[in-house]
Structure 1
Amino acid sequence: MEAVGTGGVFIAARVDKGGQSVRGAKGVFFWVFADGTYKVTTDLAGQTVLMEGKAGTGALAWYTVSLTVKGQSASGTLDGAVLWNVAVTSSSQSGWAAVGTRAFELAQFDNFSVLAD
């Protein structure tokens, strides 16, 4: 995240839309923001929030972020520590993996991987 006040990035799983339809995409989205917070949503627009809290993150720093989605549960880690666990009953059972930023801001991703059971 490179924007100090407004920066944000996400990793996502089970994303159901891409391309021109991406604004209405649903899935499991794990957002990390430069203001030190995180949010878990079921949509790219961030309207349906499953969980949110403090992450201790900031701009211009590297973090290791992971998202695990299995069955009807999801969890997220930040630098190896579990940050959240939540039920995801509204999510589909399949879809794409995704990475992105808030409002087309600058961010860097490295060593992205997807693992499936």
Structure 2
Amino acid sequence: MKVHEKIRFMRQSKGWSQEEMADKLALSVNGYANIERGETDVQISRLEKIAETFGIELLELFNFGERIVFYWAGDNNDHNNNHFCKNQSIDFSSEKNEPELEKARLLLQQQEKEIAYLKEIISLMKT
């Protein structure tokens, strides 16, 4: 997912209109719409302001929707090349994980909408 798509998705998940978002960022509606369409190269300072508006860090905006399932761990000096996948236990009941779970729920909802939309397009193309 590209940054402008993440911005649009996060705005929609907050229930904000483009007009509201533009107002929060002190931009024109057209200027903000250009950002969401990916038609504008956005400076880091503007991206920081957008992330702040969503109540997240800039890195969280960049990483939104990305997943790291596992990572390789091992000693680079290991002559046997015995690398392994390291598991970490995750306490999903923890309140600190709730924002991540909510992001995942919102992402799933968006994917379901996109699938329905694509099915509709396929149906229309068949007729």
TM-score, normalising length: structure 2 = 0.21
Bigger RCO of structures 1 and 2 (CA < 8 A, at least 6 apart): 1
Which structure has the greater CA radius of gyration?
2
Bigger helix fraction: 2
Bigger strand fraction: 1
